[in-house]
Structure 1
Amino acid sequence: MSLSAASELPAFTHGSTVPRVPHHAGLGAELAERHRQRALYELGDNPLLERQRQRESNARSYPRRLPLALSRAHGVYVEDVEGRVFLDCLAGAGTLALGHNHPAVIDALMRTLHSGLPLHTLDLTTPVKDRFMQDVLGALPATFARHARIQFCGPTGADAVEAALKLVRLATGRGTVLAFQGAYHGMTQGALTLMGNLGPKAALGGSLSGVQFLPYPYRYRCPFGLGGDAGVAASLAYIDNLLSDPESGVPRPAAIIVEAVQGEGGVIPAPVAWLKGLRGLATRHEVPLILDEVQTGFGRTGRMFAFEHAGIEPDVVVLSKALGGGLPLSLVVYHERFDTWRPGAHAGTFRGNQLAMAAGSATLAVLRAERLDAAAAELGARLQQQLAAHAERFACIGEVRGRGLMLGVELVDAAAVPGAVGARPAHPELAARVQRECLRRGLIVELGGRHGSVVRFLPPLVITAAQVDEVARIFGQALAAASA
């Protein structure tokens, strides 16, 4: 195929025909049937895991809790090298919006590979990149997209966060950034300064200066000891006072950065009223508002972007994970008035990942054509209802929360005395047992939140109602076994 054929690559846009190809025909049905017939798994060692322990960095994390060596995957199912099949409610930490090896994504990758398109282009444009930019802007609210600029970043969301920090500091001439307790924005040095979790920062002997942490509205463990609307009002009053008081001790900030739903912090959704109020304060005090949508973006919470639940618009939005259709890619999208940085102010060798852009366009086409954001809202409500039913049976469940298909169950010490607003102490040991019991029964879930006591559910958005019911059923069995 000639180089000019790259311009003939499919335009994956809303309303176009989404390509369907028989990739691994029947694999999904095979894995589903084998999962249905599963027995309790005994997870032992195998040579791949042993070599990983011997040779891979001590910083590795997921294999310690999920000792799996994977061989095949399709949709919501993964198979390990021992032939065991698991229902995947981790999905690349929310990266795989369409699940594993979706036909539209595979087809887009194959077409791109066979087109002769250069796969590495730095920030030079191509037909694939041009289409991808249009698709991303088309997914954002029209009023925001109309005045938006895009910065392509390195492969990770953390690099996009670093770029966003540079952007607002250069545009405002200020240095301080307001972040929130429980926040997670990445593991690079600058992003770590914005992290609420002290663990990853403790060994570094401190972090870069210029970040002021604020209480995040956490209904179950209200930082003001109030809860409900009173806690929301107190939080907004606190931020307003900090920005207004000439003796607050905090310089006027370059930005406020926030997750509309905290993910790693424990799947904590910010109340709509609080997000509206925060947007109002940022506008009144002329402080740019950065929304980190790395995990929440592209249908995950039941809207295309989590900030849309509150009907607000950010000044800057950070995107990654599902953005690249399962391949590494990140962006910063921001209002044109902040586009004051000089050429080369933020760069990166791998910001031109053509395969990721093709996969991203294909993913966006499926998301929009199949209304997977609406499906996430409906199926998330179905799963949340069943998890709430478990909370009626198990006193160790402190709270079930989240939005769409981004849900969390906080496990607590049921025998402990509740605090001022009814919260019991976290129970990380029980959470770890529940995760292991889920894995033995063929369900992959992750932990997060304070003390690692929140069981997190991030299934692919293509999950079916029957599969949602199976997730809830297995989780109930795991709770019963871990609590015995």
Structure 2
Amino acid sequence: MMTDKVRIDTLSAHSLPQSNDTFLARQAEFESNVRSYPRKLPLAIAKAQGVWITDVENNQYLDCLAGAGTLALGHNHPDVLQSIQSVISSGLPLHTLDLTTPLKDEFSSYLLSLLPGQGKEYCLQFTGPSGADAVEAALKLAKKVTGRSGIISFSGAYHGMTHGALSVTGNLSPKEAVSNMMPEVQFMPYPHLYRCPLGIGGDAGVKALTYYFENLINDVESGVRKPAAVILEAVQGEGGVNPAPVEWLQRIRKVTQEHGILLILDEVQAGFCRTGKLFAFEHAGIEPDIIVMSKAVGGGLPLAVLGIKKQFDAWAPGHHTGTFRGNQLAMATGLTTLKILKDDAIADKVAAQGEWLKGKLADLQKRYPVIGHVRGLGLMIGIEIVKPNEAQDHMGCYPADGELSALLQKKCFESGLILERGGRHGCVLRLLPSLLITDEELEIFLDKFENALQGAGIKPV
């Protein structure tokens, strides 16, 4: 009877008119107002393969969002699907809390081998299934280790939407009407390649920001108590694809070490070859005290893990738990994904493609001045949209154009291209495609993106 019930329900769903509007209307009826992506990308997905998505009306889209970077190998990679099938047929339980299995043992060993120094100084902590869960654990652990309560974060940061993670996130919009954020969170300016927060720009701006951070920590009159931790992204994602300057990041590592402040690197979006290195912090040649990993680490399924320097593993048994930290399917898909990324030298491929793509976008920028700035590393690229007919500021930057950015996202969608926005005022179009995207598919992206520019009424100069 249960099988019949499932079959009837499935047939009922398939008997609906196969239109995007029908499913979107039903989604609006079923789900909370909090849903966001369907408002910008109004489709109902029927199937997906590689970098391509097909909706219920049989329209195809080039997916440059890839689950916000979760799908490192794209949709339904055959090896990933096989790893799922192998677990299902193996007799393993799907969830094991923090009990170990041969699969978990292999995954843990392999993941550790990818951490700095082949993981010899690190241990792993499996948290709840999302990046925000891992951030919460990292913040708690830093406070436990140091006995201090303060956290330094940065403007433009995104670390999640749970209470503590939101407290260290820069975006003010989701904080509205949410009282009693986590206390003693000090925000500092994060370097910006196009819009220097100090209004200086260039190397001088980076040097000033570097000095500013060090001075704040050393100044006995700063008004800021020594924090438990500094948390940051080596490339800010949601904040507009801002890579941290190497000099700045290296100085933060040096100062935090000197003062016994834990450095937490949030690699949830930038990790696992996304930036052309296994981890984004590797561009600066540093080692964090805690590495936050999620998204790609689970190979498309929910998984979040901390890499913790062993000297800071101050937990007592059971002092941070999570029901779904033993997701065996995610460990299988994660292991498969990590092996492919390493064995096929995907980081090198991504680094080369990223430089090529930024060059092509720079050429496009010359013909379409609404493209104010192109930045990023590897296949984590941001395109800042501006108002070129208005006055430049004293650093030569045009005003941001969030409205045009939103229109371009819509026109991209209409041209069969899915991408996301971010940054201040949503003015940055963001690329996070599968790391297996081909050069030919990147050419298709460029064609579709230029079609969207023209579709928005923008003529080349």
TM-score (norm 2): 0.94
Q: 1:342 aligns with which of 298, 316, 323?
A: 316
Separation (CA, whole Å) in 2 of partners of 1:188 and 1:171: 22
Residue in 2 aligned with 1:370? 344
Residue in 2 aligned with 1:105? 80
Work out whether residues 230 and 261 of structure 2, in 8 Å CA contact, stay in contact via their aligned partners in 1: yes
**1:275-314 mapped onto 2 (5 Å cutoff):** 275-314=249-288
Q: Does 1:163 align with 2:137?
A: yes
List per-residue Cα deviations over 1:298-342 (Å, max 9, x = no partner): 100000000011111111100000000000000111101111121
Q: Does 1:87 align with 2:58?
A: no
Aligned-pair distance for 1:280?
Answer: 1.3
Work out whether residues 265 and 291 of structure 2, in 8 Å CA contact, stay in contact via their aligned partners in 1: yes
Residue in 2 aligned with 1:29? none
Separation (CA, whole Å) in 2 of partners of 1:187 and 1:174: 23
Residue in 1 aligned with 2:117? 142
**Bigger mean CA offset, 196-205 vs 453-462:** 196-205
Residue in 2 aligned with 1:242? 216
Aligned-pair distance for 1:483?
Answer: 3.7
Partner SS, residue 468 of structure 1: helix
TM-score (norm 1): 0.90
Q: 1:57 aligns with which of 11, 28, 32?
A: 32
Work out whether residues 430 and 483 of structure 1, in 8 Å CA contact, stay in contact via their aligned partners in 2: no
List per-residue Cα deviations over 1:166-223 (Å, max 9, x = no partner): 1110000000000000000000000000011100001213522120000000021101
List per-residue Cα deviations over 1:419-472 (Å, max 9, x = no partner): 121122211110011111111111101000000010000000000001011111
Residue in 1 aligned with 2:355? 381
Partner SS, residue 260 of structure 2: coil
Separation (CA, whole Å) in 1 of partners of 2:368 and 2:120: 49
Residue in 2 aligned with 1:357? 331
**Structure 1 stretches (4+) deviating beyond 3 angstroms?**
none
Work out whether residues 24 and 44 of structure 2, in 8 Å CA contact, stay in contact via their aligned partners in 1: yes
Residue in 2 aligned with 1:261? 235
Partner SS, residue 46 of structure 1: helix
Residue in 2 aligned with 1:214? 188
Partner SS, residue 429 of structure 2: strand
Residue in 2 aligned with 1:41? none
Partner SS, residue 419 of structure 1: coil
Work out whether residues 177 and 256 of structure 1, in 8 Å CA contact, stay in contact via their aligned partners in 2: yes
Work out whether residues 382 and 468 of structure 1, in 8 Å CA contact, stay in contact via their aligned partners in 2: no
Aligned-pair distance for 1:45?
Answer: 4.7
Name the aligned partner's letter for residue 240 of structure 2: G
Work out whether residues 20 and 55 of structure 2, in 8 Å CA contact, stay in contact via their aligned partners in 1: no
**CA distance 1:220–1:483, change in 2 (3 Å):** farther
Work out whether residues 226 and 421 of structure 1, in 8 Å CA contact, stay in contact via their aligned partners in 2: yes
Separation (CA, whole Å) in 2 of partners of 1:376 and 1:440: 27
Q: 2:146 aligns with which of 172, 185, 199?
A: 172
Aligned-residue identity in percent = 54
Gaps of 5+ in 1: 1-43
Work out whether residues 128 and 324 of structure 2, in 8 Å CA contact, stay in contact via their aligned partners in 1: yes
Residue in 1 aligned with 2:177? 203
Residue in 2 aligned with 1:26? none
RMSD over aligned CA atoms reads 1.2
Residue in 1 aligned with 2:9? none
List per-residue Cα deviations over 1:98-136 (Å, max 9, x = no partner): 000001111111011100011111000000100010111
Work out whether residues 20 and 44 of structure 2, in 8 Å CA contact, stay in contact via their aligned partners in 1: no
